[in-house]
Every structure is written in structure tokens, then in C-alpha cells.
């Protein structure tokens, strides 16, 4: 059943039509709980608030399904502007990017050039750039682009998805590179990825422990308190220096736990911003379908809890999504 719900939201996240339409709708369905702002000014305010609480940030200029060079060029411009802003305001913040937003599906050399422009500016400011890992169809291209970039730049790293069967081998190949370890957010085939939660969790813990015993910096990115407690005990037992790792969580998730971890360790919140929120938000619902109630509440009620008269269309769409989800849940 959990898999059905997951597949349903991942299916929505992959819809080009819905992704493009959502850019015109503005924030809807409770997305603002998980998206830190619509533009550089608003996300900067949120970064300042988090920094004041001792939390670092990594910002992600939302955007997927880029098929035109002009779209990739404007995404690069926004990332460069964000780098300037981080530098000017001395924010405790780095940047996460997705290669498909920078043209990976259009032309690999063009994408590489965009990344080089970003990394050159970031290196000038001493800012780290993380390449997020997307679905498996982009995996090998992403690793190849990363390896080319590493020939010139040190301020770049990527993500290892523990659900992939080849995760450990790739992690070992990148043993000197700064890496974020996650479980994996996409739906992948049985050939490429473990399917059961138990296997994924086991591999996740194994990979993080292995990394922590090495020298390179590791970002432990999970909201799973069982795993976090186990890793905290491992860190303590093995006296892993705190300078060698950090915990990371997504903006809007487990706020209290984020504050608690930030008191003990270096902590970074992943902060997406922009109006291209649909795919990101649907993947978060896939991970935690309990958040569906946010969709319904947001579509039907105003902030002061009054029933909305408009837009009826949004409410109807929301109700259908909710009923579909409930139907699948009962099966
Ligand atoms: P998971 O969803 O497995 O939950 C495990 C348990 O934790 C739950 O059963 C529950 O008990 C508890 N729990 C989880 N969330 C909770 C909540 N909100 N409230 C209460 N309890 C909760 N993926 C990817 O493919 N490429 C990428 O580049 C990234 N990048 C990335 C960055 C960061 C900072 C994070 C945190 C995650 C990613 N991901 C990602 C997403 C990642 O792959 C994964 O899909 C999600 O983090 C969900 O897995 P978790 O390990 O967080 O817990």
C-alpha cells in the first residue's frame, strides 16, 4: 500500500504538464511549508533566520524538465545571483544544483560549461557547490560531469543514494570527495535499486559508517530518528571528529529535531526556492503521504480557517487527488 501511494505521487512529480502548469498557479496545496521562498530576496530572509539559530543552509533554485538552452541559461544566472548574494551578505550557505536544470538533457558540453561558470564564481567566494543526484537515467552522466569538474575544481561534490545497488562502489571511487548520503527519492527498477525499506535502511547505515571512518567530509541527510540515534552512538564510540561530518534535513521537516541536532553538531537545512515547486513537492508527499492533509486544508481553507469560496477548481482537483489517494490506501 505504501508503495502504491509513493508511486502515485512520484507519477505526478514526473508529469511535465503539471510541472509547467504549477509555475503559473503560484504556491498551492501547502507547498510553502516546504519551499523557503519564491525569489532570492525571500529565501535570503529565511537563510538569515536559520543562520541566527546556528543552522547553515544549502539553497536549491527549483527547476526540472529543462529542454531549452535559454531556460538553462536563466537558471545559471539565478544561481550566479544567489552566489553574489551569499557573498555580499556573508551568509552561512552553499548551493545545491541539479544538472538537468543546467542543460544535461540538451547538450552535455553546454551543461559542463554552465557548471564551470558557477564553480569559478563559487571558488572565488569560497563557496561549495553540491550536485544533487536525480533519477537513475541521469546517474552515469552526472558522475562523469562531476569527475571532469573535479579535474579543475575542489569546491564540488555530489550525492550518494543508498538505495542504488552500486552506491558503495561509487562512494568508494569518490572517497576523497565531499558527499551527501541519502536514501534516494526516485522510483527505480529492481535491477538498479533495493526496493525494501529494510534493505535501503541497512545499506544507508553501512555507507555512512564507512564514510565516517574515512577522511572526507560527509553530509548525513535523513529525517529518520532511528538511524540518527544509531549514528550518533557510532560517532561517540569511534570518537569521530565533528569537523568531518554534518547532519542535513529538508526545510519544513522535523523542525524541533533540526534545532536539537544543531546544538550538538554542524547542521545544514536544504532550502528549495522558486516557483518551479511541483516535482519537488510531490516527491516529498511520496515520502510522507501524511502531508496530503496539508493539500486539502490549504485548498479549502483560508489562513484564518474560513472555508474558501474560490478557487473551486483547485478544491475540486484537490478533493479528487485526496479521494484517489484514499482509494489506493484502502486497497
Ligand atoms: P524516511 O522517509 O525513510 O523515513 C524513515 C522514518 O523516519 C519514518 O518512518 C518516520 O518514523 C521518520 N520520519 C521521517 N520523516 C519524518 C517527519 N517529517 N516527521 C516525523 N517522522 C519522520 N534524494 C535524492 O534522490 N537525491 C538528492 O539529491 C537528495 N537530496 C536530499 C537532501 C537532503 C538534505 C535530504 C534530507 C534528503 C535528500 N533526498 C535526496 C531525499 C532522500 O533521498 C529521501 O527520499 C528522504 O530524505 C526521505 O528519507 P529519510 O531518510 O529522510 O526518511
Look up residue 235 and give its three cell numbers: 560517532
Same-domain check for residues 295 and 224:
no
* For range 298-310, the mean pLDDT: 57
- Computed over every residue of the chain, the mean pLDDT equals 88
Is 282 inside any structural domain? Answer: no
On whether both 154 and 46 belong to a single domain, the answer is yes
- In this prediction, residue 308 carries a pLDDT of 59
Question: Looking at ligand 1, which atom is closest to the CA of residue 96?
Answer: 28
Evaluate whether residue 172 is within a structural domain: yes
The pLDDT, as a whole number, for residue 32 is: 77
User: Ligand 1: which atom is nearest the Cα of residue 182?
Assistant: 43
Is the same domain home to 166 and 51? yes
What is the Cα–Cα distance from 150 to 141, expressed in whole angstroms? Answer: 14
Q: State the Cα–Cα distance between residues 76 and 134, nearest whole angstrom.
A: 18
The arithmetic mean of pLDDT across residues 208-234, rounded, is 98
Domain assignment present for residue 221? The answer is yes
Q: Which residues contact 203 (CB under 8 A, 6 or more apart)?
A: 162, 163, 167, 168, 194
Q: Same domain, yes or no, for 17 and 57?
A: no
Ligand 1 centroid to 61 CA: how many Å?
19
Q: How far is the CA of 183 from the centre of ligand 1 (A)?
A: 7
Query: Is the same domain home to 309 and 268?
Result: no
Q: Per the confidence metrics, is the pTM higher than 0.85? A: yes
What sign does the dihedral 169-172-178-182 (CA atoms) show? positive
Domain coverage including residue 177: 36-276
How far, in Å, are 32, 197, 198 from residue 234 at the CA level? 36, 21, 19
Looking at ligand 1, which residue's alpha carbon is closest to its atom 32? 221
Which atom of ligand 1 lies nearest, measured to the CA of 225?
Answer: 7
Q: Reply yes or no on whether the pLDDT at 326 is more than 70.
A: no
The CATH code of the domain that includes 236 is: 3.20.20.220
Res 298 pLDDT > 90? no
Active centre residues (catalytic): 132, 180
Q: Which residue has the higher pLDDT, 127 or 325?
A: 127
Going by DSSP bridges, is the β-strand pair 218-221/245-250 parallel, antiparallel, or unpaired? parallel
**Among 276, 298, 318, which residue terminates a domain?**
276
Domain count, the chain: 2
| pLDDT tens profile 139-190 | 999 999 999 999 999 999 999 999 999 999 999 999 999 999 999 999 899 9
Same domain, 25 and 46: no
283 occurs within a structural domain:
no
Q: Are residues 230 and 111 in the same domain?
A: yes
Q: Which residue is listed with cell 534535513?
A: 249
pLDDT number for residue 330: 46
- Residue ID of nearest Cα to ligand 1 atom 6: 224
The verdict on 41 and 25 lying in the same domain is no
* Omega before 305 within 30 of 0, i.e. cis: no
The candidate with the shortest Cα–Cα distance to 269, out of 257, 282, 286, is 257
For residues 265 and 318, state if they share a domain: no
Q: Are residues 203 and 116 part of one domain?
A: yes
Are 16 and 44 in the same domain?
no
**Is 73 within a domain?**
yes
C-alpha of residue 212 to centroid of ligand 1, in Å: 19
* Per-residue pLDDT tens digits for 4-42: 667 777 777 777 776 666 666 665 666 778 888 889 999
Query: Ligand 1: which of 6, 56, 178, 223 to mutate, most ligand atoms within 8 Å of CB?
Result: 223
Q: Please tell me the predicted confidence (pLDDT) of residue 197.
A: 95
Amino acid at each position: 500500500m505504501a508503495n502504491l501511494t509513493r508511486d502515485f505521487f512520484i507519477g505526478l512529480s514526473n508529469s511535465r504538464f503539471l510541472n509547467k502548469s504549477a509555475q503559473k498557479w503560484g504556491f498551492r496545496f501547502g507547498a510553502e511549508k516546504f519551499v523557503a521562498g519564491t525569489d532570492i530576496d525571500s529565501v535570503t530572509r529565511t537563510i538569515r533566520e536559520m543562520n541566527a539559530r546556528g543552522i547553515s543552509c544549502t539553497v536549491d533554485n527549483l527547476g526540472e524538465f529543462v529542454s531549452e538552452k535559454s531556460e538553462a541559461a536563466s537558471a545559471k544566472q539565478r544561481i550566479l545571483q544567489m552566489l553574489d548574494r551569499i557573498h555580499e551578505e556573508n551568509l552561512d550557505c552553499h548551493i545545491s544544483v541539479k544538472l538537468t536544470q543546467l542543460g544535461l538533457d540538451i547538450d552535455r558540453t553546454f551543461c559542463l560549461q554552465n557548471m564551470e561558470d558557477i564553480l569559478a564564481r563559487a571558488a572565488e567566494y569560497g563557496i561549495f557547490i553540491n550536485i544533487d543526484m536525480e533519477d537513475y537515467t541521469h546517474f552515469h552522466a552526472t558522475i562523469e560531469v562531476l569527475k571532469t569538474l573535479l579535474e579543475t575544481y575542489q569546491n564540488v561534490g555530489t550525492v550518494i543514494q543508498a538505495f542504488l545497488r552500486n552506491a558503495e562502489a561509487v562512494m568508494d571511487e569518490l572517497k576523497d570527495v565531499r558527499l551527501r548520503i541519502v536514501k534516494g527519492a526516485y522510483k527505480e527498477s529492481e535491477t538498479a535499486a533495493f526496493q525494501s525499506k529494510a534493505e535501503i535502511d541497512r545499506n544507508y547505515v553501512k555507507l555512512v559508517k564507512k564514510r565516517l571512518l574515512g577522511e572526507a567530509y560527509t553530509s548525513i541527510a535523513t529525517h529518520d530518528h532511528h538511524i540518527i540515534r544509531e549514528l550518533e552512538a557510532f560517532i561517540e564510540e569511534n570518537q569521530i571528529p565533528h569537523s568531518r561530518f554534518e547532519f542535513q534535513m529538508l526545510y519544513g521537516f522535523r523542525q524541533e529535531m533540526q534545532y536539537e541536532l544543531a546544538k550538538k553538531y554542524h547542521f545544514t537545512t536544504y532550502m528549495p526556492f522558486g516557483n518551479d515547486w511541483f516535482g519537488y513537492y510531490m516527491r516529498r508527499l511520496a515520502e510522507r503521504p501524511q502531508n496530503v492533509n496539508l493539500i486539502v486544508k490549504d485548498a479549502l481553507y483560508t489562513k484564518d480557517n474560513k472555508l474558501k469560496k474560490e478557487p473551486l477548481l483547485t478544491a475540486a482537483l484537490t478533493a479528487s487527488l485526496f479521494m484517489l489517494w484514499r482509494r489506493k490506501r484502502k486497497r
